[in-house]
Structure 1
Amino acid sequence: MMNPGAAISSTLRGIWTAFLAAVARLDKSLSPHDTFQRIKQHTFTLSDSIYLFHILLAAFWLIILEAPFWLKFLIPTAFTTALIIPFTSQFFLPAIPVFSWLLTYFSSRFIPKDYRPGISVVLLPTLESVLYGANISDILTRWTHPLLDILAWFPYGVIHFVFPFVVAAFLWLFRPKEALHQWARIFGYMNLVGVLIQILFPCAPPWYELIHGLTPANYSMRGSPGGLARIDKLFHSNGYTVAFSNSPVIFGAFPSLHSGCATMEALFISHFFPQMTKFIWAYAAVLYWATMYLTHHYLIDVVGGSCLAVAMFHVLLPDEVKGPAATASPPNLVTGTRRSKYEIYDLDEPRRRGVNGGSIMRDAADYDLEELSDRESDDGEVDITYRSPVVPTPPHSATPLVKQISAGAKGDPKKNHRHTASIASLIRADERAEDGWSPIAQTFKLPPVPSRTDRSGEP
């Protein structure tokens, strides 16, 4: 068994090898001319019209964005420049849905209050009680402990913001580029749809019910960190209090994008790295609990976010990255050693043994076909019909049996001719059987005995 130090060293070497292969696959061109050439050669389809939607959506948010003109001009200019340079476009083009989501999320605060829909305070706790028989999220928050606070804070307040980059990094290193492109595309669209639902259908989270009860809410209210305030107190900081108090989407309880992101991460990891399935779903389960324990979401929000992730994954994931293609390595990456068919299918390799417990096969050095054929040829042609398939001397390994003849070695032409004659006798045996001398006919017939005259060659 490999010791831990050797295992870590082997893992690091594998990651470094994958990193070098991934860098080699990058398009390192900095010429916009290459991008324009690709656009000319591209065959546009109806699906490309989605980029018009992104352009119109970005234009809307930039118009209502309360920022200096130079900043409004800088954002589209910088993004367009990144798209026309091949080296950066290979990352920014697939990530357009992600940037659309981020722009929508941070710019939604500037929507005039007169155009915003009313905030629902009662709907979510009522649905939770009706569907599940109790307010599950309220039950989970009645007993708290610092250890539980840390257990909930780490996936909700730390891993949630880091893990999307980890998934992207592993897809970039160990899977073809199509997998990374689909991750950016589907993950971005899921969050974009979720934020649009939160904007069009605002609902108060559980922390609002704990602080204000069921009184009507308005957009002038500030957000709350909920149970994360205990983390700020534990570490003598105010980072989460400041961040959640100034959140652009304060009343975005439904659907829970924390649970949606965790579900999407679990779906991608279990699809492209099946060996990690049980670990990634364990993380998702802990995060589901953390969202309710920290009073940020109701159970109905968690279910809604997970359902959104599952729907987006199965609808948008193309067939090109399903099946065996999901676990295929990049074309220039070779990892590990070549495995036998027994290791691939997790089978026990059979051990064939002879009568006395020895292996049937043996090394080619011990099993000399050339010498055997020579011995057979000494007494003339040997009929292969009666040749035993078992070698008299038991061999010792499964090494190929044919001995390599050294360069320049020459055999006896007569011996080779006599040895080949027994094999040639099998060719067109059915026709020879009609003449009565084929050794493999259904009924054996002895060849005609030549007369003394035939043997002497006289007429």
Structure 2
Amino acid sequence: MPIRLSSLPRPLAKVLSAFVAAVGRMDKSLSPSDTIARLRKHTFTLSDSIYVFHLALAAFWITLMQFPPFPYKLLIPILYAIFLLIPLTSQFFLPAIPVASWVLTFYSSRFIPASWRPSISVSLLPTLETVLYGANVSDILTRTTHPVLDIIAWLPYGIIHFVFPFVVAAFLWLFRPKEALHLWARAFGYMNLIGVIIQILIPCAAPWYELIYGLTPANYSMPGSAGGLGRIDALFGGHGYETTFSHSPVVFGAFPSLHAGCATIEALFISQFFPEMTKYIWAYAGVLYWATMYLTHHYLIDVVSGACLATACFYFFLPDEFRGPRATAPPASLGRRSKYDLYDVQNSRGRVADMDELELSSEDEEGADITYRSPVPGSNNAPLQQQQKAVAGKKSHRHTASIASLIRAEERVEDGWSPIMGSFAFPPNSPGRDRERADERV
């Protein structure tokens, strides 16, 4: 049984309508030859060299990767290449290459040999914290804890943070042009990739390390800690966060805070493309900033650096076309007006045939609608002239006349009105035809 949108709640109907339109905009081809044909027609520019960087980065990390072992790890580039060849999947996986590079870098960083790794800084962040802000802000925020505060901090930091990027991507896909989704993949992916590379090159201990080990030197054999999220495990009787953080690929990745970076770039995108949600998304970002320090995972300087990194990536990749009103414009297929709205015509579904199929386009030399003309001299056409003036005030369009008005036109001439017998005759008059009409009238 088909679902009628009018029977659904308005927000749900709007989302469903946008989903149908978004699916209609997709390239549904499964033929790799279509992708190869597009690649042959593509004019390569200097900006395309970024894909060489991603290819070299992927080759480096897959070479270091120990799990899955060889040759199973070769399935990763093979499957991704297949997704890039199929047009249906390529339209998502090609823009998401920066995101894939970030995920691969984050996961494979655990396999970096110890001899390649830089030394871990334990005192750098708390020292900078004190110098810049006059105190250890994270330490101040963690002195008072409460189960209610734990829940408030856990929701954005431990749950929403991992889900919200997909929510932003989904809303951009549904309600904004596809270029907005590609922009999201680029800015979000490169921000996280840059952040992880900084964390690998400048490893710094988080506040939880200072609480557990003090300022003693750290080494890469030390497991990570869930920090304040351990209280969530105790509250629910589980060990999920302790297990996850103890096996984290980047244990000493406090600087910069990618939790703060993700919240900032999400808030920037929502504010830019959905400005009516600005105050709500920045409230979420503010709570997450506090949560990163309350749960002893970041110093304030980490939060500030993550927010600055996100802001820099956002404005670096934001094109000029999205700096104006087009940022809030819907996709073409979603914002297109129907033919009834375009011509201010009421849709009548009860008719046997669609009158649009019976329209004949014509245009008068004087720009006047032929349906408001009386071809009979001296006839009272004042009401029609008033209607004509009213129509002239509206947006001009090509005038149309129904083919139905041509049916039995000769008979309607006898009643004093015909849409076709004023300035021209149909069919053309002949002397013989005129004599036959005179005889019939007698």
Range class of TM-score, shorter chain: 0.7 to 0.9
The structure with more radius of gyration: 1
1:51 matched to which residue of 2?
Answer: 51
Q: CA deviation at 1:328?
A: 1.1
**Please, which runs of 5 or more residues in structure 2 have no aligned partner?**
1-5, 342-373, 382-388, 393-404, 406-411, 418-442
1:17-416 to structure 2, matched below 5 A, reads: 17-67=17-67, 68-334=69-335, 400=390, 410=416
Contact 1:255–1:301 (CA under 8 A) maintained in structure 2: yes
Q: Deviations over 1:263-300 (max 9, x none)?
A: 00000111011111111111000000000000000000
Unaligned 5+ residue runs, structure 1? 1-5, 339-369, 378-398, 412-459
How far apart in 2 are the matches of 1:336 and 1:250?
53
**Aligned residue for 2:11?**
11
SS at match of 2:237: coil
Q: Name the CA shift for 1:21/1:120 in 2 (closer, same or farther; >3 Å).
A: same
**Are residues 401 and 216 of structure 1, via their aligned partners in 2, closer, same or farther at CA, if it must alter by over 3 Å?**
closer
Deviations 1:348-398 (A, max 9, x none): xxxxxxxxxxxxxxxxxxxxxx9xxx9999xxxxxxxxxxxxxxxxxxxxx
Q: 1:190–1:308: 8 Å Cα contact kept in structure 2?
A: yes
Report deviation, 1:70: 2.3
* Distance (Å, rounded) in 1 between the aligned partners of 2:243 and 2:62: 25
Distance 1:38 1:142 in 2: 59
Q: Which moved more, 1:279-288 or 1:63-72?
A: 63-72
Indicate the percent of aligned positions where both proteins have the same amino acid. Answer: 68
User: 1:178–1:321: 8 Å Cα contact kept in structure 2?
Assistant: no
- Partners of 1:199 and 1:252 within 8 A in 2: yes
State the Cα deviation string for residues 148-191 of structure 1 (Å, max 9, x = none).
00000000000000000000000000011100011011100000
Q: Distance in 2 between matches of 1:335 and 1:268?
A: 24
Q: CA–CA distance in 2 between the matches of 1:327 and 1:210?
A: 46
For residue 8 of structure 1, report the CA deviation from its aligned partner.
7.6
Q: How far is the alpha carbon of 1:321 from its aligned partner?
A: 2.6
CA distance in 2, matches of 1:180, 1:38: 21
- Which residue type is aligned with residue 42 of structure 1? H
Q: Measure how far apart 1:319 and its partner are.
A: 1.9
Instruction: Report the more deviating stretch, 36-45 or 6-15.
Output: 6-15
Could you tell me how far apart the structure 2 residues matched to 1:229 and 1:237 are?
A: 9
Specify whether residues 316 and 7 from structure 1 end up closer, same or farther in structure 2 by C-alpha distance, changes over 3 A only. farther
The alpha carbon displacement at 1:199 in A equals 0.1
Are residues 200 and 34 of structure 1, via their aligned partners in 2, closer, same or farther at CA, if it must alter by over 3 Å? same
Q: Which amino acid aligns with 2:185?
A: A
The one-letter amino acid of 1:314's match is Y
TM-score normalised over the length of structure 1: 0.73
Pair 1:227–1:8, CA change in 2 (3 A): farther
Deviation at 1:400, TM superposition (A): 3.6
Off by >4 Å, runs of 4+ in structure 1: 335-338, 374-377, 406-411
What SS does structure 1 have at the residue aligned with 2:89? helix
Change (3 A) 1:10 1:113: same
The letter of the residue matching 2:64 is I
| 3-state SS of 1:209 partner | helix
Provide the C-alpha distance between the structure 2 equivalents of 1:313 and 1:145, rounded to a whole number of angstroms.
36
Task: Give the TM-score taking structure 2 as reference length.
Answer: 0.76
CA distance in structure 1 between the aligned counterparts of 2:84 and 2:379, rounded to whole angstroms = 77
